[in-house]
């Protein structure tokens, strides 16, 4: 079957091209080939490629910048996923879309489930929530995979920032009162591929089994297991680093590190629905060790 992957140069998009190998013919596009801010371009590419499955990791992911660019963030994160999903429905295709832990306000004590009511604190979270709702409203068979704190060996992410700063500074001051689950982009891509393999292709091999995909449609949380703070994450990165001089990693409060976008104090997601339906997920520190190795 034909699989259209957006955001091919992003953290998750790049890994998806590797993980989905062998599950179909992959057509991977960047913003030049399919700009999510250009709805006519989305429709044109969808109608030309005619995929059986669209996997959409492309997004406006600059959380702080989104506060001053709400319109473009909403167009890319809130509206474009709905256009993709509407076109998918017309083609008889399924959609896998990614969303974020930042749809929650962080006031819950335990891990958030898919049934908890989203209440985003920032523009990015509001636009991603709008995207979820647009995909849900489209009528296309869909999986919306909410993930969190994504890192990897390329792109812009916390891991690479900590490694750069650790080489330059004696001391790193990192927020220790926001809890979440750092998730390796390869875990997200491999789990996505596992789900695609499990749901399989259509009986003729060219399309998908619409009824099966429809029966599994919905929201799923997909993060590494366990929880930590940004400080704990930084400590684990530095501890793994084999160099003589390691910087001190000093815990600070959110109030000491003001950012344009507010972030939830707790955005740990319960992944029970996904693990019971599809497959297991690694612990965050095991996945981090694998990534750093
Ligand atoms: P990245 O920022 O690494 O990649 C996003 C991709 O989207 C980039 O390739 C980017 O292209 C592309 N893109 C941006 N604007 C457009 C546009 N107008 N048209 C087409 N493509 C565009 O994101 P991740 O891989 O980290 O994120 C994957 C998914 O996971 C997203 O849905 C994100 O919201 C979600 N998520 C991410 C988290 C994180 O910490 N990163 C946390 C929680 C959820 P270019 O490189 O050219 O800019």
Mean pLDDT on 260-287:
97
For 89-121, the pLDDT digits (tens) are 999 999 999 999 999 999 999 999 999 999 999
Closest ligand 1 atom to the C-alpha of 61?
2
CB of 155 sitting under 6 A from ligand 1: yes
What residue ranges define each of the domains in the chain, with the CATH number in brackets? Answer: 2-292 (3.40.50.720)
Alpha-carbon distance of 193 to 191, in angstroms, equals 5
| Residues 223, 179 contacting (CB under 8 angstroms) | no
CB of 148 sitting under 6 A from ligand 1: yes
Which of 99, 150, 186 should be mutated for ligand 1, with most atoms under 8 A from CB? 150
Residue 200 has pLDDT above 90, yes or no: no
Report pTM: 0.96
For 225-248, the pLDDT digits (tens) are 999 999 999 999 999 887 778 899
Whole-number Å distance, alpha carbon 243 to ligand 1 midpoint, is 32
Q: Which two tokens stand for residue 153?
A: 């060996």
Helix or strand (DSSP H, E) at 172: strand 171-175
Please give the pLDDT value at position 82: 98
Mean pLDDT on 135-156:
96
Which of 14, 19, 31, 120 should be mutated for ligand 1, with most atoms under 8 A from CB? 31
Whole-number Å distance, alpha carbon 7 to ligand 1 midpoint, is 6
Whole-number Å distance, alpha carbon 246 to ligand 1 midpoint, is 31
| Residues 175, 252 contacting (CB under 8 angstroms) | yes
Mean per-residue pLDDT over the chain, rounded? 95
String of b and e for 14-48 (b: at least 16 CB within 10 Å)? bbbbebbeebbebbbbebeebbbeebebbbebbee
Whole-number Å distance, alpha carbon 224 to ligand 1 midpoint, is 19
CB of 58 sitting under 6 A from ligand 1: yes
Which residues form the catalytic set?
A: 124
Handedness of CA 71, 72, 77, 81 (dihedral sign): positive
């Amino acid at each position: 079957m034909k699989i259209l992957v957006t955001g091919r140069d992003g953290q998750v998009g790049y890994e998806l091209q590797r993980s989905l190998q062998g599950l179909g013919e992959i057509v991977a596009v960047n913003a030049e080939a399919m700009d999510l801010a250009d709805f006519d371009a989305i429709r044109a590419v969808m109608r030309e490629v005619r995929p059986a499955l669209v996997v959409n990791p492309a997004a406006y992911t600059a959380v702080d910048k989104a506060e001053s660019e709400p319109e473009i963030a909403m167009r890319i994160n809130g509206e474009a996923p709905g256009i993709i999903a509407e076109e998918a429905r017309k083609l008889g295709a399924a959609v896998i879309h990614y969303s974020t832990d930042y749809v929650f306000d962080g006031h819950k004590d335990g891990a958030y489930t898919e049934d908890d009511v989203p209440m985003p604190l920032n523009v990015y979270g509001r636009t991603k929530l709008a995207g979820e709702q647009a995909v849900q409203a489209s009528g296309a068979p869909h999986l919306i995979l909410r993930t969190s704190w994504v890192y990897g060996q390329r792109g812009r992410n916390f891991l690479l920032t900590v490694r750069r700063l650790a080489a330059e500074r004696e001391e790193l001051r990192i927020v220790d009162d926001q809890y979440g689950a750092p998730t390796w982009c390869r875990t997200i891509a491999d789990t996505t591929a596992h789900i695609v393999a499990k749901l399989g292709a259509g009986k003729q091999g060219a399309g998908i089994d619409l009824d099966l995909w429809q029966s599994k449609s919905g929201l799923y949380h997909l993060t590494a297991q366990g929880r930590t703070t940004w400080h704990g994450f930084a400590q684990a990165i530095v501890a793994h680093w084999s160099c003589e001089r390691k910087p001190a990693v000093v815990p600070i409060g959110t109030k000491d590190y003001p950012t344009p976008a507010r972030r939830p104090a707790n955005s740990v997601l319960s992944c029970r629905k996904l693990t019971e339906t599809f497959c297991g997920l690694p612990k965050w520190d095991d996945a981090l060790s694998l990534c750093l190795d």
